[in-house]
Amino acid sequence: MGPAAFPDDACSLRDGPPSPWRLALTAGAVDTTLVFDGAAHVGLRQWSALATASRRLSPALSLQVGAGALLGGWLEDAAGRHDLAPGAVALAGLTWLLLPPRDGGPFLAFSSALSLAAARTAAGPAGPGAPYRAADLSLAGSAGWPVGGWLAPYAAAKVFGGPVTWERGGAGVTGTDLHHFQVALGLAASLPRRFDLLVEWAPLGARAVTAALGRSL
């Protein structure tokens, strides 16, 4: 949910004083495998969208909070596919810009975040409807190098973990992600009128694609 790691104020790629606030709309998809009760492997695919607000607490530290919707998806086990009904997502996190992108040089950032998701699987041929809950605590880092003062390719890595609860076969089960990591490539662009765009692809670990459009205030 959200990029693996990137400075919350992507407009810091521009010269000039940093903005204290940034608002953004983020959308993404995740494709991974969950393991319930240490044995049952269940495929998960979900789509989500959320609005976030970032507040710069210091030149290096930013706080981010967000809320939105789990738009849909499914869990798939031996019984078949269990469609996810629309639900809610939320996150809160901190980003530390260890090395800012000054004078055309590289940047290095770290972040920590807690994300929550809640929805229901719909009743169908694979089984009855059931509540689905997921929580993740993550640590991530990214490194990149701005090009031309407005474009920044970067690489990122994330480790994460947290419980997932569901009802499977009429009984409550607890699981977690099989992988507990992501490796991602991303591209951030500073746009006119203090807008910025970020696109990230994580092909390794918990596979994900994320896009975010933000504006600094």
Residues 1-60 have pLDDT tens digits of: 666 656 555 545 555 556 789 999 999 999 999 999 877 899 999 999 999 999 999 888
Please report the beta strands in 100-129, taking only residues with DSSP state E, as ranges in sequence order: 107-121
In a domain? residue 1: no
Most confident of 92-106, 136-150, 174-188: 174-188
Q: How many domains does the chain have?
A: 1
Q: What is the dihedral of CA 127, 128, 131, 132, to 10 degrees?
A: 10
pTM assigned to the model: 0.89
Domain assignment present for 4: no
| pLDDT (average), residues 54-73 | 93
12: amino acid identity, one letter:
S
Q: How many CB atoms within 10 Å of residue 161? A: 13
CATH of the domain at 117: 2.40.128.90
- Is residue 158, in this structure, part of any structural domain at all? yes
Phi-psi region of 205 (alpha: psi -120 to 50; beta: other; left: phi over 0): left
Look at residue 114 and tell me if it is in a domain: yes
With vertex at residue 54, the alpha carbon angle to CA 51 and CA 55, rounded to the nearest 5 degrees, is 150
Percentage of residues in the chain with pLDDT exceeding 70? 90
Rounded mean pLDDT of 190-216?
92
Residue-range definition of the domain harbouring residue 117 = 10-216
**3 within domain boundaries:** no
Cα gap 216→130, rounded to integer Å? 40
Closest CA to 3 of 132, 152, 146, 176: 152
**pLDDT of 37:** 87
Closest CA to 97 of 154, 148, 162: 154
Specify the range with the lowest mean pLDDT, choosing from 28-32, 45-49, 74-78, 125-129: 125-129
pLDDT band at residue 113 under the 50/70/90 scheme: very high
Q: What is the mean pLDDT of the chain?
A: 88
Inside any domain, residue 5: no
Look at residue 145 in the predicted model and tell me its pLDDT: 86
Query: What was the pLDDT predicted at 2?
Result: 63
